[in-house]
Amino acid sequence: MRDSLGAGGEPAGAGREPAGAERESDDFGGLTALRMAPNITAAEATAVFRRKLPGAHVDVHEVLHPFWWTVLAVETRGIFGRRRAKGSGQRINVLVNAQSGKGFLADFEPRGTNVDAVQWRQSLDSQSRPSPVLDPADVTRAARSLVRAKVLKTVKLGMGISIAEVAGPRGVLKPNWLVSGANAKYSATILVDGLDSSHYIVRVEKTSAD
Amino acid sequence: MNIETWFLIIYFIAMAGIGMWTLKIGTKNSEGFLLGGRSLGPAVTALRLQSSSMSGYMFLGAGSLAYTKGYFSLWYAMGDIGGGVLNLSILGRRMRKLSQILGSLTSIEYLEHRYPSKWIRAIAAPIALFCIFFYVLAQFIAGGRGLEMVTGVPYGWALFIAVGVIVFYTFLGGYLAVAYTDFVQAIIMLIGMVWILIGTLQAVGGWTAGNQAVGEINPNLLTMWGPDGYDSVQWGVIIGAVLVFSIGYMGWPHVNVSHMAMKKPSVARAASMYATGFNLLFIPAPYIVGIMALVILPTLDNPELAVFAVADTVLPDFAVGIVMAGIMAAIMSTADALLLQSGTIASQDLMQRFFFRNLSDRQSVWVSRITVLLLAAIGYLVAVNDPPAVAEVVIFSTTVLGAAFVPVYIAAAWWKKANVPGAIASMLLGTVSSVVWQLAGLVDVTGVDPMGIGIVCSTVGIIVVSLATQKSHPVPEHVVAALTETDKIGPIPAHMLTGQNDALAAQVPKNA
């Protein structure tokens, strides 16, 4: 993925704009990344931490995680494609984790400020886990596969399904909060989702003997 | 048309209504960020796991085994009762977490992500497809037999209608596929089976009187050693009987996919409690009904019909209608889910992965449809001309799936050194050894069940080959890192894990 972007290759679907974002020319294959603003404040992230470790002294700072964002349009129709099912058309935002390749359906449209592509790449390099290199086709494939699985779960095989890419992959930086701290019993580091305040325990150590 | 048939029709219309209603509700709800379909709680996870693996076999196969072998059949029941707990305990939490970190949507894809090679999918997908076909075949036969019993139409026509309805379900949107209806089906299966058991015990004058009557037919039927007594015991076969549904269960891709849909890994613990409760209530029932059928219907032509025929004899007409409708719906729902899975394996895991990388969504759906129709047609032809015994079909396919996949799934979650050549060797050795053992008739010669041989071969295969090829085929760094992350399940205090979002594991920065 990094290679293909660095070489200035056009990601799949380039030329069609993801809604709510602009594309500007730079060394990111003609694209900028989008940096989303957190919905959760540092104080709220601290509160999440203190619910887990009451009375802890904490250190909190924002971290960004690189995702790919692509928009797919889904239509279902009768088995022979003659009639469209009523209300079948929908536009689905899919975020693909640039590190793991895992796609997620988003019930919102990512919004934020345009940032330099280098920042997106640095964010990818800063991840803890070495990851397989994805290319834009992999991103699109992962997104389509996820959307197809989601649609087939409900409409099954009786309807025709067409999935079209409305906008090709674009880099997105998703905000999270990294909160570290300790109370009398434990010291811990927790990653708090910057969008929905869910959390993940990164590290926990017992500080007291009991 | 008799009252049972009316109940059957009303029941199907009601289930269709629930399906359409949930579909309508489902499309109004937003999926939410980071859901990816992983939203099932413990009760639904457990009951889906059980209902998607038991319907056809439990209503025909279990009764048949019990009718012909008496209490010996409980060796299979013992494995069955423990199978759900073992599966959830050994694989549940780790597979849930690892699959999310690796970004896997299907259980075959999970294997390919854990053992990164296209050959994993190239080998696993056809084995799974082959065995799932046999399982679907068992559901077809069960559906046909059930309809024959309820409606009185000849087996050939009943089978045709059953297969037609199953294919219709598979093609019709929404319908019976949503988790809620799977959950409802499991509850109805349980109520129906317990109702038949109570009716049966009343008909034979109670448990003790029933056993005394069975003992008068053949005292050996009351023992765990089979109708020919202790002298004829083959311990290898008994061990295989226990293994087939206890650990063999862990090799079913269509069952393991339930782990990946759990809301969070900790759901596995509560789900195993629900699974045990369901199993303890449900599983012994068809075996006991099958044994008591020897007293109620001693001259039954086809032992496979023991449970259905006893239900028809001991329950009032309206109850037969309700119970049979529930049972038939459960059988059809299972078959429909398996057919859909076969279609997905054919289109996604085989066609798109190996032959047409840019297969369009429309083409992909057509590949699934053709696969479903083809399997249904072949299944119908096999089932109508010379229907094999359901118990044999299910035990054979479970044996092959278990031998091929159990060590691979367990090592995937628990052993960091398990690598691609080890996994390939394990799947091939497990499949070939169990199939050859069965087809060559070595079970009777050696007294050893193909499940035992298959598991030993595939376990030795993954250990020896993985260790021998560590240098030439090391496990990729990102897989080792994912496994290390998965190991963290244990030491973290429970109160801190409550509500944890494991998807964030893949967003931890290097400096954390």
Q: What confidence tens digit (pLDDT) does each residue in A171-183 have?
A: 899 999 999 998 8
Q: Mind telling me how many Å the CA of A38 is from chain B's nearest CA?
A: 14
State how far the Cα of B453 lies from the Cα of B448, in Å rounded to an integer. 7
The residues near B193 (Cβ < 8 Å, ≥ 6 apart) are B58, B282, B285, B286, B289
pLDDT digits (tens, 9 = 90+) for B359-391: 777 777 788 888 888 999 998 998 888 777 777
* CB-nearest partner of B497 from A97, A191, A201: A201
Is the Cβ of B370 closer than 8 Å to some Cβ of chain A?
A: no
Average pLDDT of each block of 10 consecutive residues along chain B (512 residues)? Answer: 74 66 45 36 65 70 88 84 74 76 75 89 87 85 83 87 80 48 72 89 91 91 84 74 72 67 64 78 89 90 86 83 73 75 79 76 79 90 82 81 90 91 95 90 78 90 94 87 73 60 74 70
Is the Cβ of B503 closer than 8 Å to some Cβ of chain A?
A: yes
Is the Cβ of B177 closer than 8 Å to some Cβ of chain A?
A: yes
What pLDDT score does B327 carry? 74
HSE-up of residue A203 (Cα within 13 Å, Cβ side): 15
Q: Mind telling me how many Å the CA of B371 is from chain A's nearest CA?
A: 11
Strand A33-36 to strand A160-182: parallel, antiparallel, or no bridges (unpaired)? parallel
Token readout for A192 is 């708090």
Do B506 and A99 count as a contact with CB atoms less than 8 A apart? yes
Do A186 and B493 count as a contact with CB atoms less than 8 A apart? yes
* 3-state class (DSSP) for residue A178: strand
Chain position carrying tokens 């944890």: B500
Q: Which long-range contacts (CB under 8 A, 24 or more apart) does B150-157 make?
A: B150/B2, B150/B4, B150/B5, B150/B8, B150/B320, B150/B321, B150/B324, B150/B325, B150/B328, B151/B1, B151/B2, B151/B4, B151/B5, B151/B8, B152/B2, B155/B384, B156/B384
A102 class by beta-carbon count within 10 Å (0-12 exposed, 13-18 middle, 19+ buried): buried
Is the Cβ of B369 closer than 8 Å to some Cβ of chain A?
A: yes
What pLDDT score does B213 carry? 92
* 3-state class (DSSP) for residue B101: helix
CA-nearest residue of chain B to A133?
A: B478
* CB-nearest partner of A128 from B30, B340, B510: B510
Do A188 and B496 count as a contact with CB atoms less than 8 A apart? yes
- Chain A 31-50, residues with CB within 8 Å of chain B CB atoms: none
Is the Cβ of B348 closer than 8 Å to some Cβ of chain A?
A: yes
What pLDDT score does B34 carry? 25
What pLDDT score does B458 carry? 93
Plot region of A33 (φ>0 → left; ψ -120 to 50 → alpha; else → beta): beta
Token readout for B302 is 């086809």
Do B340 and A156 count as a contact with CB atoms less than 8 A apart? yes
What pLDDT score does B304 carry? 83
* Residue B31 near residue A107, CB atoms below 8 Å: yes
State how far the Cα of B37 lies from the Cα of B45, in Å rounded to an integer. 12
State how far the Cα of B72 lies from the Cα of B233, in Å rounded to an integer. 10
pLDDT greater at residue A17 or residue B75: B75
State how far the Cα of B504 lies from the Cα of B512, in Å rounded to an integer. 13
Chain position carrying tokens 């019930």: A107
State how far the Cα of A11 lies from the Cα of A29, in Å rounded to an integer. 8
What pLDDT score does B3 carry? 72
Domain ranges of chain B: 3-18+41-387
Do A157 and B23 count as a contact with CB atoms less than 8 A apart? no
Q: Mind telling me how many Å the CA of B391 is from chain A's nearest CA?
A: 30
* Residue B104 near residue B124, CB atoms below 8 Å: no
CA dihedral for B218, B220, B226, B232, sign (positive or negative): negative
A-to-B residue pairs, Cβ atoms closer than 8 angstroms: 172
B480 class by beta-carbon count within 10 Å (0-12 exposed, 13-18 middle, 19+ buried): middle
Give how far Cα A53 sits from Cα of A173, B1, B264, B475, Å.
Answer: 29, 67, 21, 36
pLDDT greater at residue A196 or residue B511: A196
Do B174 and A186 count as a contact with CB atoms less than 8 A apart? no
Best residue in B263, B361, B372, B485 for a mutation probing chain A (most A CBs within 10 Å): B361
* Residue B413 near residue B91, CB atoms below 8 Å: yes
Furthest CA-CA distance within chain B = 75
Token readout for A117 is 């592509």
Find, among A149, A123, A146, the residue nearest to A64 by Cα.
A123
Do A155 and B34 count as a contact with CB atoms less than 8 A apart? no
Helix (H) or strand (E) holding A92: strand A90-97
Superfamily of B3-18+41-387 according to CATH: Sodium/glucose cotransporter (1.20.1730.10)
State how far the Cα of B62 lies from the Cα of B77, in Å rounded to an integer. 8
What pLDDT score does A16 carry? 38
Amino acid identity for residue B423 in this structure: A
Q: CA triplet B232, B237, B238: central angle to 5 degrees?
A: 85
Do A198 and B31 count as a contact with CB atoms less than 8 A apart? no
Best residue in B332, B352, B497, B507 for a mutation probing chain A (most A CBs within 10 Å): B507
* CB-nearest partner of A131 from B23, B478, B495: B478
Q: CA triplet A130, A134, A138: central angle to 5 degrees?
A: 145
Residue B160 φ/ψ, nearest 5 degrees: -60, -45
Amino acid identity for residue A89 in this structure: G
- A22 band by pLDDT with thresholds 50, 70 and 90: very low
State how far the Cα of B392 lies from the Cα of B161, in Å rounded to an integer. 24
The residues near B279 (Cβ < 8 Å, ≥ 6 apart) are B50, B80, B81, B82, B83, B84, B85
Mean pLDDT across chain B, nearest whole number? 78
The residues near A9 (Cβ < 8 Å, ≥ 6 apart) are A29, A136
State how far the Cα of B447 lies from the Cα of B463, in Å rounded to an integer. 26
Q: Mind telling me how many Å the CA of B228 is from chain A's nearest CA?
A: 49
* Residue A112 near residue A35, CB atoms below 8 Å: yes
Interface ipTM: 0.74
What pLDDT score does A1 carry? 34
Do A105 and B33 count as a contact with CB atoms less than 8 A apart? yes
B319 class by beta-carbon count within 10 Å (0-12 exposed, 13-18 middle, 19+ buried): middle
Is the Cβ of B499 closer than 8 Å to some Cβ of chain A?
A: yes
What pLDDT score does B132 carry? 83
Percent of chain A with pLDDT over 90: 13
